[in-house]
Structure 1
C-alpha cells in the first residue's frame, strides 16, 4: 500500500521509513519485538556502482575487555559497557516483575518496562558500533583485526563479552568497508600477536597470563605494553596477508 501504510492480516499500519526504499522490492520481512513494535525489512534489487579499492592508511586493532580497540597508531577506542551502565535499573525492573501477580495488568506493565530497558541497551550499543565503523572506514584504507574465538571468551568472561558485542561490530565494519572501498583483514586467532616482539620478532612463549600487561623483550630490550604491541603485530600480519593476495 502507498502513503507509508501497509496492510497486515486485514489491519492497516502506518510506518516510519528510516531510509528511502531504493530499487525493486523483492521480499518484505515483518518482525515484532518484545515491546510489540513492528519492523519491516525490505529486500530490494538495485543497480549498484562498483566501489574501487582505495589507498590510504593502514591500522591494526587488538580487542580487549577494558579497552574495546587498542590501535597500532596509539589511538584507542573505549567502549561504554552499556549493559553495565543500566545494570541497576535492569535488576530493579527484574525484581519488580517477579513481584507482580501472573497474568495481571501490572505484570504486563512491568514486563514492558524491562523490555524497554533491554531495547535501550541494544540501541545504544548498535549506535556506538555503527558510528565507530563509519569513523574507521573513513579514516583507514586497511583495517586488520583478530578473528577471535568469542564463544570460548564468553565462557571465560561471561556477560562482558556480550556487552561489548564484538562480533556484531565486525559485521558492521565489513559492511561499511564495502561502501567506502576500504578492506578488513582478519588475522587468525592462533597468531601469537601478544607474544611477538613488534621490534625484533622474538616470540616470548612464557607470556600466556592475561594479568601480565607489560613485558620487556629479552632479545632486543624493547619494553612493551601488551595490547599496543599486539595491535602493531596484527597490523603487520594483516598487511602481509592482504598484499600476499595481490
Structure 2
C-alpha cells in the first residue's frame, strides 16, 4: 500500500532560488493552459486533453519568449498538466468545483514524480541536489513521488509518497463507537466503558493574538514593505492555529487507532453543518480532519472505519430497549427512557447506538452471517440490556406481536 511522510526541508539560498523558479514555471503552465483550455472549449465545445497540452508545451518551450520554462524540471511541468486534467475530470464528475487560476501569494507546491531518493539526511531532487531535511522514520519502500511546498510563512515541506508492506494481520478485534460533538469532541464506547475527550478550540485560544495582528495589518499602507511583514505575522497566527488543531487530532486519532481495530462513526454532513450558526465551532473542531486521519491510520494497520448513515437516530434511541424519543431536543443533555426507565447521557447513549449499528453493518457484510469475532469471542448482535431491543421502525410491542 501507499503511505505519505511529510517532513520539513531546509534548502540553501541557491536551492531556494531554484525552487522559486520551479514554483513560478509550474504556476504559469497551470494558468496558461487553464486559460487556453477555457478558450478552446468556448470556441469548439471541446477542451484540451493532457496529450494535447503536453505537445503544445513542447512547442511553447522552443519559443523565444518562453525559453525560461526550460529552467524548471520538465517532469514537474508535465505533472502540472496532469493535475489540471484531473481537476477538469473531477469537475465534470461533480466531485469538485471548477479549476481556479493560481496566485503567487498563496501556498506554492510542485510535484516531482520520479528520480527522488533519500541521501545523507536529506532528499535528492532533480536539478536541486540533496536538500537538507528532518526525516523522522526510515523509508524502506520505493519512493513514488515527492511534493515540495512552501507555506505563507516561508517554510518548506516535502511530502514523500512511498510503497510499504501491507501484510498487517489482525488476530483479535476491538470495536468502538464514537459520537462527535462540540461540548465533547469525541465520546467513545468500546462495549464496556465510556469516556469523553473535550475539544481544544484553537481558534478561540489564539483569538486575541489574531485580532491584534489583524488590527496592526489594517494600519499599514498598501504595497509597503511593512504591510508585507504584517501579512506574514497574521499568517503565522493562522499557521499556529492550524498546527495546534492538526497536532491534537493526530494524537487523538492515534490513540483511537491504538485502542481499536474498528471504529464506528456517523457520516456527518459537515458542509451542511458549516452553514449553520455553529459554523465557527464546527470548523474549529475539525470533524472531517479527524475522520480522515482515522480512516487512513486504521487502513494502514489492517483496521477499518465504519460509517453509519447520518440520518440514523443515534441520539433519540434508547441504547437499552430501543425506544425512540422523538421529543428529544438539542438542549436536553440527559434524559430518562419512558419505557425501561434507564437514565441516559445524550452523548454516551449516542456512542452506544453508533457502535451497535456499526456491528449490524459489519454482520450483514460478512457473508450474511449474524455474528463475528471480536477479541477472540463470538459477538452476537443484542442490546446492552436484558430487555429485548425493538426495531427503529417498530411503533409498539402490540404491532410486533400482531
Match status 1:41 vs 2:41 = no
**For residues 142 and 75 of structure 1, what CA distance do their matches in structure 2 show?**
17
**For residues 143 and 128 of structure 2, what CA distance do their matches in structure 1 show?**
21
**For residues 312 and 123 of structure 2, what CA distance do their matches in structure 1 show?**
52
Q: Of residues 16, 38, 56 in structure 1, which corresponds to 2:134?
A: 16
Q: Of residues 343, 362, 373 in structure 2, which corresponds to 1:242?
A: 362
Deviations 1:95-124 (A, max 9, x none): 111111112222122111111111111111
Equivalence map 1:151-190=2 (5 Å): 151-156=271-276, 157-190=278-311
Larger radius of gyration: 2
**For residues 188 and 261 of structure 2, what CA distance do their matches in structure 1 show?**
14
In structure 2, stretches of 5+ residues that fail to align are 1-116, 367-402
Match status 1:52 vs 2:169 = yes
User: Partner residue of 2:335?
Assistant: 215
Change (3 A) 1:189 1:97: same
Retained in 2: the 8 A contact 1:6–1:15?
Answer: no
**For residues 83 and 140 of structure 1, what CA distance do their matches in structure 2 show?**
30
**For residues 300 and 163 of structure 2, what CA distance do their matches in structure 1 show?**
17
Root mean square deviation of aligned Cα = 2.1
Change (3 A) 1:236 1:12: closer
Q: TM-score, normalised by structure 1?
A: 0.91
User: How many residue pairs get matched?
Assistant: 244
Equivalence map 1:219-230=2 (5 Å): 219-230=339-350
User: Partner residue of 1:63?
Assistant: 180
Retained in 2: the 8 A contact 1:62–1:231?
Answer: yes
Q: TM-score, normalised by structure 2?
A: 0.57
Match status 1:114 vs 2:218 = no
In structure 1, stretches of 5+ residues that fail to align are none
**For residues 178 and 8 of structure 1, what CA distance do their matches in structure 2 show?**
32
* 1:89 Cα deviation from its structure 2 partner: 0.6
Retained in 2: the 8 A contact 1:54–1:181?
Answer: no
User: Partner residue of 1:200?
Assistant: 321
Larger RCO (alpha carbons 8 Å, 6+ apart): 1
